[in-house]
Amino acid sequence: MSHALALHGVTKRYGNFVAVDRVSLDVAAGSFLTLLGPSGSGKTTILMAIAGFTVPDAGRILLDTKDITALPPEKRDFGMVFQGYALFPHMTVAENVAFPLRVRGMGRAEREDKVRAALDLVQLSALGDRRPQQLSGGQQQRVALARALVFDPALLLLDEPLSALDKKLRAELQEELRALHRRVGRTFVNVTHDQDEALSLSDQVAILNHGKLIQTGEPAALYERPATRFVADFLGKSNFLEATAEGGVLHLGGLDLAQADAPASGPVLLSLRPEKIALLADGETAANVAPGKILSWSYLGAGYSLVVDTPMGPLRASLPSWRAPIAPAEGLAVRLGWAADAAVAVAEDPA
C-alpha cells in the first residue's frame, strides 16, 4: 500500500541562516515527486527532514494523517537511496540488501526469498556474492535501490540517485527508475539539480530556491507556464522580454508586441522559449516579427542555437539542423517570428 506525504510550513535554520523556509508540499499516494533546485537551495535538508535525520525548527510532516515530525528515522519505515549510495563495504551485495530485513528480525528463508526478488527487480541476481566496490557505478546504484525497496517501505527517498553516473547511463537508469516506480507503485520523493531528470521522471516537480518553494506542478505545466523568471530560467532556456503595456498593447524596443492576455498597463516580463521562435522565410509573417542579424551561433547536432541581435535586444532562437532553410553565419540578416501565445508573462523574483 502506498502512502501520501504532506509538509506544512517546514522550516529549518542553521544559526541565523534559513536553509528551508516555510515549505508546504502535498505528495499524493503512489506519485513521483522531484525536488529541483540549484546547489544549496535546501533540497537535501528537506529530504533529511522527511527521512527524520534532521528535525525541523517549525512545521509539521504528515504521513497520510499521522504526524511524523518528531519520529526517529528508524521508526519511519522509509527506504532511502543516499547520495553516493552508502553501501556497506564489508558486506556482499546480497548481505547489503538483506540488512533491512535482518534489522526486522526476519527468518532466514523468507529473507533469502525477498533478497532474491529485490535483486531480480533491479536485474542484479547474478552479482549477489560480489562486494560493492567490485561493481560499476550503475550497478551500485541498483543495489542501493534494491536495498531501499526490499522491505516494502512506506516511502522511497532518493538523494541525487543518478548524479554520479555518466550521461548515457543516467538516461538509461532514468527510464529504469520510471519503470520501477510504475511496477512497485510506491510514493517516491527524488532530489536532483538536473532539470532533464526532473522533467522526465516526475509526476510532480517542486522548484526550490534559497530554501523557498517557488512553484509546484506537473512537468509540462511548469515548463509551459513558469510562474517566475527563476523557474523559466532554471527549467530549460528562455528569453526574457521586459516590455511595457499601454492601453492593452505591449511595447519593447520601438516595436509593438502581440501577446495573448496581456495586461492593460504597467511593466510586463515575458518568457519566450527559443524553440517557439521561428525563422521566417521571405514573405512569411507571424503575429510578432523581429528583424535582426545573427550575433553568434552554435551547432548542437539536432539543431542550431542562434543568438540574434534585434531591436528588442539579443534573442536566442533554435533552428532544427535537418534541412535548415539557411546556413547560419555571423552577420546574416534574418527575421524572427512567434505566435501571440508563444510567450508567457512571468513574475520577477523577489530579491
Partner 1 sequence: MRRDTGWWLLIAPAFLLLTLVYIAPIAQVLAISVMEPSPGLGNYERLFTSESVQRVIVTTLRICIITTAIALLLGYGLAYVIALATERARRWWLLAVLVPLWISVLVRAFAWVTLLRRQGVINEGLIAAGVITEPLALVWNETGIVIGMVHYMVPYAVLPMLAAMREVDPRLLAAARGMGASRGFAFSRVFLPLSMPGVIAAGVLVFIFSLGFYITPALLGGGRTLMVAEWIKLQILDLLRWGLGAMMATVLVLAILATLVVFSRLVNLRRLFGGGA
Ligand X SMILES: Nc1ncnc2c1ncn2[C@@H]1O[C@H](COP(=O)(O)OP(=O)(O)OP(=O)(O)O)[C@@H](O)[C@H]1O
Of the pair 21, 95, the CB lying nearest partner 1 is at 95
- Count, residues near partner 1 per rule CB under 8 A: 30
Query: Residue 53 binds which entry of Mg ion, ligand X, partner 1, none, with Cβ cut-offs from 5 to 8 Å by kind?
Result: partner 1
Comparing every residue's Cβ against Mg ion, the nearest one is: 44
Grid coordinates belonging to 335: 527575421
Q: Residue 132, interface with partner 1 (CB under 8 A)?
A: yes
Q: Which of 10, 33, 45, 78 binds partner 1 (CB under 8 A)?
A: 78
Of the pair 79, 328, the CB lying nearest partner 1 is at 79
Q: Which of 86, 127, 164, 258 binds partner 1 (CB under 8 A)?
A: 86
Q: Parallel, antiparallel, or unpaired for β 187-192 and 155-159? A: parallel
Q: φ and ψ at 51, to 5 degrees?
A: -75, -20
Q: Residue 45, interface with ligand X (CB under 6 A)?
A: yes
Q: Residue 44, interface with ligand X (CB under 6 A)?
A: yes
Beta-ladder partners of 290: 336
State how far the Cα of 187 lies from the Cα of 157, in Å rounded to an integer: 9
x/- contact string, 87-106, with partner 1 (CB under 8 A)?
-xxx--------xx-xxx--
Q: Which of 19, 162, 206, 280 binds ligand X (CB under 6 A)?
A: 19
Q: Residue 226, interface with partner 1 (CB under 8 A)?
A: no
Q: Residue 193, interface with ligand X (CB under 6 A)?
A: yes
User: H helices within the chain, ranges in order?
Assistant: 43-51, 93-103, 108-121, 137-149, 167-184, 195-201, 219-224, 229-234
State how far the Cα of 54 lies from the Cα of 198, in Å rounded to an integer: 24
* Contacts of ligand X in 274-333 (CB under 6 A): none
Residue 175: CB atoms within 10 A of its CB come to 11
Kindly state the DSSP code that residue 347 receives in the 8-state scheme. Answer: B
Single out the segment in contact with ligand X by CB under 6 A; choices: 40-48, 233-241, 271-279, 317-325. 40-48
State how far the Cα of 31 lies from the Cα of 2, in Å rounded to an integer: 9
Q: Residue 232, interface with ligand X (CB under 6 A)?
A: no
Q: Residue 56, interface with ligand X (CB under 6 A)?
A: no
State how far the Cα of 12 lies from the Cα of 266, in Å rounded to an integer: 37
Q: Residue 108, interface with partner 1 (CB under 8 A)?
A: no
The tally of CA atoms less than 13 A away on the side-chain side of residue 39 is: 1
Residues that bind ligand X (CB under 6 A): 14, 19, 37, 39-45, 193
